[in-house]
Amino acid sequence: MSRDIVGMGAVASIGSTPEEIFDSLCAGRTGLAGLRAFDTTKYRAKRAYEIDDRARPGADEPGRATRWLKAAVGRALADAGHPGDLADVPVLVGTTLQEQRSAELWWKEGTPLDTAGLHFGTALRETFGATRTYTFANACAASLYALAMATDLIEAGEADTVVVAGTDALGESAFGTLDRVQNDVPEALRPFDRSHKGMLMGEGAVAVVVRRAAAPGQRVYARLRAVGVNCDAHHPTAPDPAGITRVLRDAYRRAGVGPEDIDLVMLHGSGTPKNDTTEAGVLSALFEPGAGPLMTAVKSMTGHTLGGSGLLSLVMAVLATRRGTVPPVLGLTDPVPEAAGLRLVRHQAAAARIGIAQVDAFGFGGINAVAILEAAR
């Protein structure tokens, strides 16, 4: 059973609409810059992929994740021709940090804090009249987990239309934790390259409107064939090849496809050596060496946008199917050995006719999700 994607919205460090972000990816433009959110002298890493929208340089502000969420949802609704009243429409939001940065600023600097504002449902109700809002804190796979729940709601007859979103802003406690647990200090996020040293955080929000079936005359961006999810609980941080293989095969089964049907893979591509080698190794075992699908990793230019990263990759996959173009993996010059047989797009965007795309999202703790979508011809 396919579901129609009829509206999209997104904001990231490299653009304020899905089209702007995709154009930046294809042009090889990165959002990497010197860290703006907080004092860099406390940390080894000095760079991140931030949205440059603060009112005053060097002064952080609360509520940014919520602000981007509202913008992404509003654009997706307008794009779908929806009137904007979500009283009867479930809204599912994936996140890693929610509004953690707002709480940090209250604790550190005494910035006023409205505790109701820590929950995205408050803003969604006030802005769109939403009464059915749900937040998924499933690490880096959160927004694809939310997408899986959307397919369940539609299939069960609980909703005809669902809004799925993801959002995250940099938090100092999360940035500091990552800065201390990574062995090396990455200067950029370099997925699948031998020079990769780890993950750098990015910011952004994304939203899609999913319908059981598009209304007559309504534009359909793509059809969502299936989403597979699992939690293998193998290790707090290290991915498990067996768990990833299981979720991939479950997604294929639900979508009614096989590895030979996949034309494009949007890789998780976190830039951490363990994740890159594991993901590349699993995919190398699934696809015929040198003859499998094209593959790319948007985090090379957006950074790791955390809870919304999977859905952002999916939106970029939708545009790749419509444009017939696959963005490159920025900075990929010397692939890791495990990726030797994979058709990674390098150096510049590649032209391709894409019928079926696969989107990977693998989070800490073995929280895995894979979405399969079909081009709307």
CATH of the domain at 238: 3.40.47.10
Boundary (domain end) residue, out of 187, 211, 235: 211
Q: Does a structural domain hold residue 342?
A: yes
Maximum distance among all Cα pairs of the chain, rounded to whole angstroms: 57
- Rounded CA-CA distance 130/122 in Å is 9
What per-residue confidence (pLDDT) applies to 57? 79
Same domain? For 179 and 245 the reply is no
Same domain? For 111 and 169 the reply is yes
Chain centre distance of CA 286: 23
Same domain? For 95 and 191 the reply is yes
pTM: 0.97
Number of residues in the chain: 377
Same domain? For 42 and 176 the reply is yes
R_g of the chain computed on alpha carbons: 19
- Closest C-alpha to 318, from 9, 106, 95: 9
Q: Does a structural domain hold residue 34?
A: yes
Same domain? For 165 and 230 the reply is no
Boundary (domain end) residue, out of 152, 186, 211: 211
Q: CA angle 115-117-120, nearest 5°?
A: 130
Burial 325-354 (b: 16+ CB within 10 A, else e): bbbbbbbbeebbebbebbbbbbeebbebeb
- Rounded CA-CA distance 230/367 in Å is 6
Q: Does a structural domain hold residue 11?
A: yes
Q: What stretches in the chain show pLDDT beneath 70?
A: 1
Q: Which tokens hold the place of 359?
A: 């989107």
What per-residue confidence (pLDDT) applies to 37? 87
Boundary (domain end) residue, out of 183, 211, 239: 211
- Rounded CA-CA distance 278/268 in Å is 11
Mapped onto helix, strand or coil, the DSSP state of residue 354 is coil
**Enclosing H/E stretch for 251:** helix 241-255
- Rounded CA-CA distance 208/190 in Å is 28
DSSP E strands, 145-266:
161-168, 204-211, 222-231, 264-266
Q: Does a structural domain hold residue 31?
A: yes
Q: Say if residues 239 and 191 touch (Cβ distance below 8 Å).
A: no
- Rounded CA-CA distance 5/30 in Å is 27
Question: Count of domains in the chain?
Answer: 2
Q: Does a structural domain hold residue 216?
A: no
- Kindly tell me the sign of the dihedral angle through the C-alpha atoms of 17, 203, 44, 42: positive
Q: Which domain holds residue 89?
A: 3-211
Same domain? For 122 and 248 the reply is no
Chain centre distance of CA 259: 22
Per DSSP bridges, beta strands 33-34 and 325-326 are: unpaired
- Rounded CA-CA distance 373/226 in Å is 7
Q: Does a structural domain hold residue 300?
A: yes
pLDDT tens figures, 129-176: 999 999 999 899 999 999 999 999 999 999 999 999 999 999 999 999
- Closest C-alpha to 196, from 206, 207, 185, 204: 185
Q: CA angle 345-351-355, nearest 5°?
A: 95
